[in-house]
Structure 1
């Protein structure tokens, strides 16, 4: 099968798998929070993984990295606990209409608890107007939450400018860096959410970076692991895989980037009758959201069984909800149904691109001919 769904989950790196295997052996079962020798060895593996993740991007220095079950937990923790640390006059959250559901749904829940929220629109290119953002980030704002690379359409927000504006207003800046970490330099931020399986690590583990000087109350209560801040037994296996994947991403960043750019150019040239959703200039090239009039994306995906690709976010697909991202950039439901998302990266070959583009083109033409 040709796998073109990297935004949903990237293939596991061989280095990550190798780092995980020892913790599946007969003597790899110790709890990293136990005081005996085996427990201390497991704890050492967790700390080594933490150091490797931090070392992969300079923005992760000057703070503490806490392991979580994934980015959804990290974002929930950052928003819910972050707003609780602020003064009553700072109970306002500013975010964008194209954020991941874990951000938007948490913000909506907080609004029901009495928190003021502002969900800013984006243009047809998927980018927020810097002046609109500047006007919304005022002295009542407690948290500004913005995704670095959009998971559905690949656009890259003017994140550095937004971070500066947030800090100038005295607000905390939360960056959902899930799709950007290991690929795009991270901005200075107070809080950064990460996920292992988007960078060729295992599923089930993520992290939240919290800058020095900022202390979050726990979201999960129990055993007081992670310095008393995030309860729950950590998996040395998952942490080790995350750490290995982060190191490989850092070592191969330039090579991976050049490879992805070349594949993106090849794919766009092979699909000239498709329109790119979102900005063509400010985007991560390994995520192509494309639409073509007269196409039913669901039928296309189910019909091409030897190619794994999607119509958009795996989370939105599971919920049955229409894409809020495509709606935010001005597409109606009919146009959204003609959209496919092709995600590729380190292990995608030129042959994969050529075969996939040919089969997608043939299937699209056949659909249009049948409809006519």
Structure 2
């Protein structure tokens, strides 16, 4: 590490497995909200807990622990550090952010997601992110501190206290995500009070993956283009639509549907085909003209800037108007149950870990039995 005394930093190559990188990408694209500055989207551990997805913090636990050990070892401060912040941060096409200096430091340029860069948060390590010209740049960010008052674990455990209380009362925690306030998902954030322009990022992410949504028959569409009224439908039961076909399977809300769709893409990215286990009867119907009109009305209200959404999240993949082949609903339907199994396994892990975390007031990996 040249010049390490002047600019202390450490690069860990291939620190994360490709599978774990894909898992983190799935979590972010399924759960993120608008971020702390323009063109930034973020997923924090506290947000996962607040939206009834505390189980999704489990993949982060070993990463936080291993990185803290590496940082303490490299800077010679063993057992002194606390994790101050953990979050997934993404920048989309057309965005850039950074602190520049006359000193061009290659070590902080774009890296593979599997690599880790460790450096001090001072003027010795000025860093920047260049303009994103294609796709979405996703980074896992951790801050460390010697100040115990900034310990993220204490705050996360406090947020988990209500979750634990429900368990102690015998309540079975639901694994379905709950949507936060609508303004947390509206981009750009300065339009979130009036919704006159911009888009809902959950709907936008579904759109670029080729899906629309249809409100459940139990819900009614608002005939106007009043976005605030339409956004309420995203919190309620709905159906997924691809092309001119509707899956007659009710999702709890748009976050539930988005998690399943991104889980499907994650698994498909690791294999040429998605394995279908067992045989399940599925019900897919062709859309009527009235259904299509309602779907288009909802889309127009919550995707006011369709072009802007596609610029940031990508072009359509499935479900184009002239799409020649039917979507593989059979494989997708099987993924619904695989997603449930994945979520339930994580939920078991966090329920096992919580008593130990609360006892020691720290979030850590339990020894393998």
Whether these two folds match at TM > 0.5 is no
TM-score by length of 2: 0.24
Higher relative contact order (CA 8 A, sep 6+): 1
